Chains A and B, each alone.
Chain A
Amino acid sequence: MCDPMSAIAAIGAIGSALYSYSVQQDVMSKQSRANADWVSYQRRKGEEEWARQEQARQRADAAREDTLNKLRPEAQKEAQGKEQERVTQDITPTDLLDQHPELLQDKLLSGQKGASPIIQQDIADKITQASRDARARIANLATIQSYGGSQFGLQNRAQDLFNQSSADINLEGNIRRGSLGAYNVEKGVEPIRYQANNMLGGLGGALAGIAGKGFGGQV
């Protein structure tokens, strides 16, 4: 016959082991679900961040492309031509005789006003030619200005375009950096950790020891 205490201890030890196994299974199951949740969270956050980054990048790229298109040679040549026209109109005096022959009397010196028509015509021809020459030089001046420093000259235009797109790119870059910082915090989130805390485990071990001693004494 076996010692009844040992039998009870053995039964207790078996029960305790079964309980421990059950607790372990439960913890593993919970940990697995927590891990799956974490993966799902990280995947979702990663996709959201990627979408945000991509949208911001596309907005910056659109600003960049817009500037680049306006800086294409054909666009710059067209802009230069328009600016040249504008500057020419703006800086050419309005009283040049080649365009306004009616202003001859205003141009004549006081003593010339009573001169014969032949002399007046000769003077008019000379002033008209001088006006034409001046007009040609003014047109050249307008051309020079339209390449460089006039209001909408190529140089100022390019600078303005780069300023605009740089502002947009910087804004989007700032948004991206901020968002990336927040995402890094999200990436640092760790899954819940479950730990098996079997209070009966120690008792089971003690019972198993008693049962072992009882059965060992009979042998």
Chain B
Amino acid sequence: MGGKSKPSNNEMVEFEKQQAAEARQKEAERQARLEQGKSSIDAIFAGGGFDQPFYDKYKNAALGYQLPQLQDQYTKQKEQTTFDLARAGLLRSTAAGQAQADIESQKAAQEAAIRAGADQQVADLRKNVSGQQSAALSQLYATEDPNVAANTAIQSVQQAQLSTPNLQPLGELFKPLVIGGIAAGGGAYNQNVANTLYPKRPNYGGSYSDVA
């Protein structure tokens, strides 16, 4: 028959049984170490150590970097629009209201985008921490089993890289309004409203003030 014939006296058989028992015992110890190591890693990464304030600090920093830039641009745009409207004599017109509504709308959209971006960055941070947990587990398995390469640990972290946040100062966030156009359009609009409210009498060539 194939294979090596084994010595088979009692002492040798006993020795082999003893070896088998020791192997079983060592395997039990190995499994216990794995379970204990996994519990320890889970406690570190999923046990609340990386708490909400840890993530909030990151999010608030992202918002604190970008929102003031938005606020600056918003303030400047409002001032500029005010000046332009005043120069066009439309400060108290419906067109002025439209211009302001447009600015507010743009600001709301930009702010929502910035907040969504910050939230996305926090999600990436959470993925990164989760990647660290996977890497730590891979290292645990590699420590207990020499046939498992520890390189998988590095890959786990690499796969969970933080997406690079936008660190550049924000560009022009507000579309400049053409107040000259507003002046023209606004004038026509105001005239139309006035005509509706105070229709000219056909046989009277007076002004609105005459009507009033």
Chain A residues in the interface with B (C-beta under 8 A): 31-32, 35-36, 38-39, 42-43, 46, 50, 56-57, 60-61, 64, 67-68, 71-74, 76-77, 133, 136-137, 140-141, 143-145, 147-149, 154-155, 158-159, 162-163, 165-167, 169-170, 172-174, 176-177, 180, 188, 190-191
Contact = CB atoms under 8 A, between A and B. Distances in A.
Contacts of A76: 50
Contact of A162 (B128, B153, B165): B153
A68 B162 contact: no
17 contacts: A35-B7, A38-B7, A64-B140, A67-B136, A71-B136, A73-B49, A73-B50, A76-B50, A137-B69, A140-B64, A144-B167, A154-B128, A162-B153, A166-B153, A167-B150, A173-B150, A190-B4
A68 B44 contact: yes
Among A31, A145, A158, chain B packs the most CB atoms within 10 A around the CB of A158
A170 B150 contact: yes
Contacts of A191: 7, 12
A171 to B, nearest CB: 9
Contacts of B196: none
Interface in B135-181: 135-136, 139-140, 142-144, 146-151, 153-154, 157-158, 161-162, 164-165, 167
Contacts of A162: 132, 135, 139, 153-154, 157
Contacts of B12: 35, 38-39, 191
Contact of B11 (A36, A154, A174): A36
Contacts of B144: 57
B94 interface: no
Contacts of B154: 159, 162-163, 166
Interface of B: 4, 6-7, 9, 11-12, 15, 19, 22, 26, 40-41, 44, 49-51, 54, 57-58, 60-62, 64-65, 68-69, 121, 125, 128, 132, 135-136, 139-140, 142-144, 146-151, 153-154, 157-158, 161-162, 164-165, 167
Closest 4 CB pairs of A and B: A73-B49, A143-B61, A176-B146, A140-B64
A141 B167 contact: yes
Given A148-B165, A159-B154, A35 B11 contact: yes
Contacts of B147: 173, 177
Contacts of A143: 57-58, 61
B19 A46 contact: yes
Contacts of A137: 64-65, 68-69
Given A137-B64, A137-B68, A68 B40 contact: yes
B54 A77 contact: yes
A155 B162 contact: yes
